[in-house]
Structure 1
Amino acid sequence: MSGPNPQHFRALVLHGAKDLRLEVRQASAPQPGELQIAVRVTGLCGSDLHYYQHGRNGDFIMRAPLCLGHESAGTITAVGIDVRDFQVGDRVALEVGFPCTSCAPCIEGRYNICRSLRFRSSAKTFPHLDGTLMELTNHPADKCHKLPAHISDVQSALIEPLAVCMHAIRRSNPADAESVARALSATRVPEETAALIFGAGAIGMLLTAALAATQHFSTLVVADIDEARLRIAASLPFPLAKIRTYLLPKPASEASPQAEEDLAQQMLSAFCLPNGFSRTYDCTGVASCIRMGIYATGPGGAVVQIGMGGASHPNIPLSAAALREVDLIGVFRYAARGYPDAVALMGSEKFQGVAEKVATHFVRFEEGDRAFELAAKGVDEQGKPVVKVIVVSGREAEGHER
């Protein structure tokens, strides 16, 4: 093993709903094949917020104290034996899913659907596997991704959610969207290919930016009920991309299926898309958005389900999808190519300025409760919209607080 080995570190540990404690833990040397990492930045995810508020995330219920966080990056402080290609001082992003590596999905590179997968900060398995909201952690070297020097700490905190977006893009196969649109055009003149993104949160904005940067669609429409967030989405630094926004009405207590279909048609009319969107990406998990997405997607298109925060049993208009061969594509986290794709895109010139739009708030490690409360409220004390909260450790907090 090489490098210094601190004896103690602090961790933010959730003991129950809104019972977050700052604890001191004993450090241990990295095992063979592991790296010891000083965590510099950790973004708060929607699943973290569910655990903090309710002590559970859907069906996954905490049965013991759990350290949250999984959107992390940091600096290597020690290298375990049998580890090559890493050295003390390297900056890395942490990929936090641990599959069996031997089942059929793992062999195919789809380890995210491995039945034995364990994920840091998740209560799905017991004993729980602690997350990365800690100052120091040991992590498998093969799940660490070296970061080039020009990727900032702010950018590094967004590698994990961007990996989700890159996996969603791969799953949705946008390359064939143009051919579908051309076939639908009565005049045989290639029409615009458009994608609809429900949700202007961190995933929605990063997905919009990734689609704009990779130029898969000529028009991107971001829909949300929050006008302030839509303004941020519209300001993403892609002057050549057509990024449009659509303000959805606040959801009624019981929206009728006809009202949702009518709203989908209104969106299509507003953007002159008589043949519908080629792809719809739902980043909300809200049942009404899923249904509107089916109605708004054109024949031969696809609805890509990324968000998981809404109803677990939405009433889906399957006939509206089946009769027009609209595919329903599920997305769960990311697979083998997610992180490499995300690091490459985040470090590219075309993606500059995106992270600063998405990472809206930075909070010191010692103020864990404030970080979660900011994420829960959605606006800060000055009324500024909260998109992504980044928890910053140690000296890295200097100059990042906002």
Structure 2
Amino acid sequence: MTTNGTASSSSSSYTATVLYGPKDLKVEKREAQPPAEGQATIRIIATGLCGSDLHYYIHGRNGAFVLQAPLVLGHEAGGRITALHPSYKGDLKVGDDVAIEAGVNCNTCKYCREGRYNLCSDMSFCSSAKTFPHRDGTLQEFMNHPTDYLHKMPSTLTYELASLAEPLSVVIQATRRANGPQPGSSVLILGCGAVGLLSAAVARAMGATRIVAIDIDQAKLDFAKSSGWADQTVVLPRGKRVSGFESLEAAKVLKVELEKELGEEGFDTVFECSGVESCMQVGVLLAKAGGKVVFVGMGTPEAVLPTANAFTREVDLIGVFRYCSTYPAAISLLGSGTLGEGIAKMVTQRYPLEKAAQAFEDLARGKDESGKGVVKVMIGDYCGQA
């Protein structure tokens, strides 16, 4: 058990789900600790599962970040403050509902001073194995977390919507990095998980007039279209995943096939949200000359990209790593209703904490035991309550 982010409650123990290795998830009782100076204790009410959580659950790693010790997963969460350290003098109070920003940075390095704290090498991020000791995540009943990274929820927000502030923050970071999409522009979304869907929703809200979504799951594409976030969708066949130059040759073939359906004009902005190497490659090939490809998804540690194609057409290749200073905007956007009714409908399954393993299995399979497709999975004892 790490000393960072230890949990606390009004009783002597609490429940946590702890990952020990690939598909080795245990439900444990842990001893509660009061919040340290600068911390609050939060009762976690809803946690959304993310693709990175799934990678840790299945493989014991997420890209280059390898599990080195038992870890509580989960970093998309909303909850209620149950205790504050006696020395706290800020605006938060016991009983406040908050969205939890998962990363804790050093506040002293060059990147933190320049306002790019997501690049802080000493950042400790809930449920990530990037740094050691790992910082436990939110798949537990209670946790202690620095008050500086707790954001008050407006009354218009449910706990589930508060948890979506985390993936939405990734999307806001991506749009800031790309300086767009601009009103009247065309956008391609590759991968329609939660981040891909939110990218489409934000692109629509920013005035993009043509949004095309591509995925291997027809149900997710249908959801994007019915929510008004996509004008056109393309479902790709599931097949054997290849990599390297073999994948690049396949991407060139796929580009030709997609152009038959989508036209040859290309896209002003491409949001690559899958992390799949072939999608990363075809995203570059489908960008307009002078366009931008924003790599939002993670999952391919080392990818072969068509750089000559990009450089000779002045296509900007833009990386995105988490987010910084985005939570206020994300919470405001979620509470405003600007993104449409589809946002709340993104939550398709809800599980109690004790059934976290089942939630991960259903997420990996893409549907639950009843056959209903997965868009966004929530875990918590009070999921859906305001």
- TM-score where L is the length of structure 1: 0.88
Secondary structure of 1:284's counterpart equals coil
Return the index of the structure with the highest Cα Rg.
1
CA distance in 1, matches of 2:61, 2:308: 34
Post-superposition shift, 1:358? 1.7
1:378 aligns with 2:345: no
Gaps of 5+ in 2: 1-7
1:223 aligns with 2:214: yes
- Of residues 203, 208, 211, the one that matches 2:203 is 211
1:159–1:342 Cα contact (<8 Å) kept: yes
Secondary structure of 1:234's counterpart equals helix
State how 1:109-120 maps to structure 2 within 5 Å.
109-120=115-126
Post-superposition shift, 1:251? 4.0
1:347 aligns with 2:352: no
- Of residues 319, 322, 325, the one that matches 1:333 is 322
2:105–2:124 Cα contact (<8 Å) kept: yes
Post-superposition shift, 1:242? 5.5
- Of residues 278, 302, 312, the one that matches 1:288 is 278
Partner of 2:379: 391
Secondary structure of 1:347's counterpart equals helix
Post-superposition shift, 1:356? 2.7
Deviation readout 1:300-330 (Å, 9 max, x if unpaired): 1111001111x32222111110111000000
CA distance in 2, matches of 1:343, 1:244: 28
CA distance in 2, matches of 1:392, 1:252: 35
1:6 aligns with 2:15: no
- Return closer, same or farther for 1:111/1:16 CA change in 2, 3 Å cut-off: same
State how 1:62-81 maps to structure 2 within 5 Å.
62-80=67-85, 81=87
Gaps of 5+ in 1: 179-191
- Return closer, same or farther for 1:83/1:6 CA change in 2, 3 Å cut-off: farther
1:154–1:355 Cα contact (<8 Å) kept: no
Post-superposition shift, 1:43? 0.8
Partner of 2:92: 86
Partner of 1:138: 144
2:248–2:305 Cα contact (<8 Å) kept: no
Secondary structure of 2:157's counterpart equals coil
CA distance in 1, matches of 2:97, 2:247: 51
Partner of 1:106: 112
Secondary structure of 1:23's counterpart equals strand
CA distance in 2, matches of 1:341, 1:47: 23
Partner of 2:4: none
Identity value in percent = 43
State how 1:161-176 maps to structure 2 within 5 Å.
161-174=167-180
Give the alignment's Cα RMSD to 1 decimal. Answer: 2.1
CA distance in 1, matches of 2:113, 2:44: 30
Post-superposition shift, 1:5? 3.3
1:267 aligns with 2:231: no
- Return closer, same or farther for 1:341/1:276 CA change in 2, 3 Å cut-off: same
CA distance in 2, matches of 1:378, 1:207: 20
Deviation readout 1:125-173 (Å, 9 max, x if unpaired): 2222111111111111110010001111221121111111111111111
Q: Match of 2:370, as an amino acid?
A: Q
CA distance in 1, matches of 2:330, 2:248: 37
Post-superposition shift, 1:374? 0.9
Aligned length: 375
Partner of 1:187: none
Post-superposition shift, 1:349? 2.3
Secondary structure of 2:268's counterpart equals strand
Post-superposition shift, 1:266? 4.2
CA distance in 2, matches of 1:265, 1:14: 43
CA distance in 1, matches of 2:116, 2:215: 31
Q: Match of 1:314, as an amino acid?
A: A
State how 1:153-164 maps to structure 2 within 5 Å.
153-164=159-170
Partner of 1:23: 28
CA distance in 2, matches of 1:10, 1:252: 39
1:200 aligns with 2:192: yes
2:18–2:25 Cα contact (<8 Å) kept: yes
- TM-score where L is the length of structure 2: 0.91
Q: Match of 1:231, as an amino acid?
A: D
- Return closer, same or farther for 1:156/1:253 CA change in 2, 3 Å cut-off: closer
Q: Match of 1:300, as an amino acid?
A: G
CA distance in 1, matches of 2:222, 2:67: 37
Post-superposition shift, 1:243? 2.7
1:282–1:293 Cα contact (<8 Å) kept: yes
